Amino acid sequence: MHRDWPDILGGLALAAIGAAAAGWALAQYDIGTLRRMGPGFFPAALGGLLTVLGLVVALPALRRRSDAPGIEPLAALAVLAAILVFGLGLFRIGLVAATAAAVLVASLPAPRPGWGWRLALAAAIALLTVLVFGLGLRMSLPLWPRLP
């Protein structure tokens, strides 16, 4: 049994990224007040929240003991391939198809057999992506392939 290094290091990394983001926002932007928030208020608040969440992960892990986690190369490769599929496909096949394809690729090494749950998961995440980024945030991403 060893210390829970993945949680310790992961939590400290989150805390460091959050502190850096909050520090940058505080140094570069006007924070304003609660009644009239400046452009740096939201990034500083999110950075502070990420710092706290990182510490919530890291500090309890200092007392906890665990076995070293195993590395699953097929799962790691599938996640990297899914990121590549999404990045290369986004502007070629659109947000919906790129998201669905990335989910299908990432789910390939899953121990649960069958394609039904994979297709349902891909459809649900593609729908959620469209709702959040297309409709909610109104980002100008192509939802479908562009026809010539």
From first to last of the 148 residues of the chain, give the pLDDT tens digit.
678 888 899 999 999 999 999 999 999 999 988 889 899 999 999 999 999 999 999 999 888 887 767 778 999 999 999 999 999 999 999 999 999 999 999 999 998 989 999 999 999 999 999 999 888 888 888 888 876 6
- pLDDT of res. 148: 65
C-beta pairs of 15-20 under 8 Å, 24+ apart in sequence:
15/50, 15/51, 15/52, 15/53, 15/54, 15/55, 15/58, 16/54, 17/50, 17/54, 18/46, 18/47, 18/48, 18/49, 18/50, 18/51, 18/52, 18/53, 18/54, 19/47, 19/51, 20/47
Cα angle for residues 86, 92, 98 (degrees, 5° grid) = 30
- pLDDT of res. 23: 96
| Burial of 37 (C-beta count, 10 Å sphere; 0-12/13-18/19+) | middle
- pLDDT of res. 116: 94
- pLDDT of res. 72: 87
d(CA 12, CA 110): 29
Q: Would you tell me the crossing angle of helices 41-61 and 5-28 to the nearest 10 degrees?
A: 160
- pLDDT of res. 144: 86
